[in-house]
């Protein structure tokens, strides 16, 4: 395949031109997709253009203000000497002590100090076994030993209604009893209507321990920290664990897929003329499936004879995450970062508005958690955040 000959600068100018002269009803997301860039990148270019015009679209230097090789040798010797005397001190502590002892000296930034110490072999970067970003939410799958242990959710393939609009059927079921909790004819797979459907299920049937889905939107965000989506973060507030099957392995949710085959055969062929009529058809089908249809895996009895609502009821308000008193709290900004000791630590834009907890678990290392979910480790010495997502069962 030949290399593309147009420059990045021309691509950015073309994008800005398309944004400035977009057609009525055309969104920035549509233009991003058409030009093959992410929405985050598109908004970055728009902000740069608004601040500085076309010139601001050029690549910006990533060089530090004071490169490590430009630090005076005498300062390097003092830094290294103090680090050797205190090998557990990070760059920030070293700089603070030296600034107090020699206030007339302009000491380099902590990031530059870390680079210097690394060059001289006084800092060893930790090689962590970074797991695949969504492993925490996958295997081993939770056994459904009782009603509401595990709910499963998915979209049965979309289809056109009689008037031409698409219907996206969202299905929610209880794996233990095979009871279908909801079949909702939605206009899209966007988060808000899906959350509303779950809200109604939680109000009617209580809260499950686990919700099992595939890795598609809105259940997951493939590029976010741990694959978290706004919907999954909302579930975490209720103590519900998001659980996902392997990619390309629908058999891991076989009970739900088998229900989809019956739903498709009995309630979608031919499709109804409109969404309300299709919803009424789904409601009739769900009643018959739950109340009358014998199920071989249930001893030829219907699912309704095996299902009982959850004892965990839906609270009136979304509960905040409960952190121990000794844990430091930080609010995630809209750009996905938190402020920590004059540094910005990027976590994920999906977490904006949420409070995360930071607990020191080793010297200059802080474990960052989101309620019952461990997000990873931040090293003050290396100024790095390493994702290490893990569900904390003690908070169930």
DSSP 275-297: HHHHHHHHHHHHHHHHHT--BGG
Question: 């929610």: which residue's tokens?
Answer: 172
Q: Burial, 189: exposed, middle or buried (Cβ in 10 Å; 0-12, 13-18, 19+)?
A: middle
Query: Residue 118: its pLDDT value, please?
Result: 85
Pairing of strands 150-155, 166-174: antiparallel
* Cβ neighbours of 266 (radius 10 Å): 14
| Predicted local distance difference test score (pLDDT) of residue 2 | 38
Give the tokens for residue 65. 């203000």
According to the model, what pLDDT value does residue 213 have? 95
Which pair of tokens denotes residue 30?
């549509």
pLDDT value, residue 260: 95
pLDDT score of 394: 58
CA neighbours closer than 13 Å in the CB half-sphere of residue 280: 5
Q: Residue 307 in contact with residue 174, Cβ under 8 Å?
A: yes
Residue in this structure with the two tokens 């058999």, named with its chain if needed: 251
| Pick from 163, 159, 206, 204: nearest CA to 185 | 159
Tokens linked to 181: 């909790």
391 with 136: CB under 8 angstroms? yes
The CA distance from 109 to 103, in Å, is 14
Give 10-residue mean pLDDT values along the chain (396 residues): 52 86 85 80 87 80 58 85 84 87 88 84 61 65 95 94 93 97 95 96 97 94 91 96 89 91 93 96 96 92 96 94 92 94 91 95 89 92 88 64
Query: In this predicted structure, what is the pLDDT of residue 129?
Result: 44
Please state which architecture CATH assigns to domain 135-305.
2-Layer Sandwich (3.30)
Place of tokens 């970003």: 133
CA distance 150 to 307: 12
Q: What's the count of helices (H) and strands (E) in the chain, helices before strands?
A: 10, 13
The pair phi, psi for residue 170, each rounded to 5°, is -90, 125
Distance (Å, whole) CA 254 – CA 344: 44
What per-residue confidence (pLDDT) applies to 48? Answer: 87
């Amino acid at each position: 395949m030949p290399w593309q000959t147009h420059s990045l600068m021309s691509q950015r100018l073309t994008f800005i031109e398309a944004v400035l002269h977009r057609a009525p009803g055309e969104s920035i997301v549509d233009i991003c997709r058409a030009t093959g860039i992410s929405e985050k990148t598109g908004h970055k270019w728009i902000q740069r253009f608004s601040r500085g015009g076309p010139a601001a679209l050029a690549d910006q230097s990533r060089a530090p203000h004071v490169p490590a090789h430009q630090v005076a040798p005498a300062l390097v010797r003092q830094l290294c000497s103090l680090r050797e005397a205190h090998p557990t001190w990070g760059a920030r502590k070293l700089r603070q002590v030296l600034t107090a002892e020699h206030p007339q000296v302009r000491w380099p930034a902590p990031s530059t100090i870390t680079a210097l110490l690394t060059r001289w072999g006084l800092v060893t970067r930790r090689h962590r076994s970074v797991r695949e970003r969504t492993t925490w939410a996958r295997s081993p799958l939770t056994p459904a030993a009782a009603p509401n242990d595990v709910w499963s959710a998915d979209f049965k393939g979309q289809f056109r209604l009689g008037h031409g609009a698409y219907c996206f059927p969202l299905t929610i079921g209880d794996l233990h009893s095979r009871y279908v909790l909801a079949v909702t004819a939605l206009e899209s797979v966007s988060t808000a209507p899906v959350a509303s459907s779950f809200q109604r299920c939680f109000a009617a049937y209580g809260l499950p321990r686990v919700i099992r889905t595939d890795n598609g939107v809105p259940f997951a965000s493939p590029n976010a920290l741990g694959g978290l989506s706004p919907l999954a973060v909302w579930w975490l507030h209720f103590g519900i664990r998001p659980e996902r099957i392997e990619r390309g392995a629908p058999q891991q949710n076989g009970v739900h897929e088998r229900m989809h085959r019956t739903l498709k055969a009995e309630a979608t062929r031919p499709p109804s003329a409109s969404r309300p009529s299709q919803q009424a058809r789904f409601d009739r089908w769900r009643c018959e499936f739950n109340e009358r249809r014998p199920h071989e895996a249930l001893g030829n009895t219907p699912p309704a004879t095996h299902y009982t609502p959850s004892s965990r009821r839906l609270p009136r308000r979304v509960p905040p995450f409960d952190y121990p008193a000794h844990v430091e709290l930080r609010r995630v900004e809209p750009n996905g970062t938190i402020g920590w000791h004059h540094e910005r630590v990027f976590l994920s834009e999906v977490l904006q508005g949420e409070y995360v907890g930071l607990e020191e678990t080793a010297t200059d290392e802080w474990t960052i958690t989101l309620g019952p979910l461990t997000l990873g480790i931040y090293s003050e010495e290396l100024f790095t955040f390493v994702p290490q997502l893990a569900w904390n069962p003690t908070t169930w």
